[in-house]
Amino acid sequence: PATTALGIKDSAGYEKGLSCGANVIMPNIGGNQYRKRYAIYPGKGEGSISLEGDLERIKSLLVQLGRTVGRDYGNRKGRAL
């Protein structure tokens, strides 16, 4: 996965992670009133405008990379729950 740390460390962190083999991103998309509670390292929980804006940026990035937003559990193909 491309974790939140990649997105904080480098503005193109998610893109780089997905381009190097990651197949999941883990953005910090909690409500603004809760983000500071999860600030476990400098920069986490800051700099976001809105949840809707964050989701649109993520969707736009995925489109640019030729990826789609998954709508399932993400299990390995051919493997039942």
- Where do the domains of the chain lie? 4-64
Both tokens of residue 25? Answer: 């991103």
Both tokens of residue 56? Answer: 């649109």
Residue 63: what pLDDT?
92
Of 75 and 59, the structure prediction assigns the larger pLDDT to 59
> What are the tens digits of pLDDT across the range 54-66?
788 888 989 999 9
Of 51 and 14, the structure prediction assigns the larger pLDDT to 14
Give φ, ψ of 19 to 5 degrees. Answer: -75, -15
5 pLDDT exceeds 70?
yes
> What are the tens digits of pLDDT across the range 18-54?
888 888 887 777 677 777 777 676 665 555 557 777 7
Residue 64: what pLDDT?
92
SS3 63: helix
Distances (CA, A) of 32 to 16, 37, 40, 56: 26, 10, 15, 16
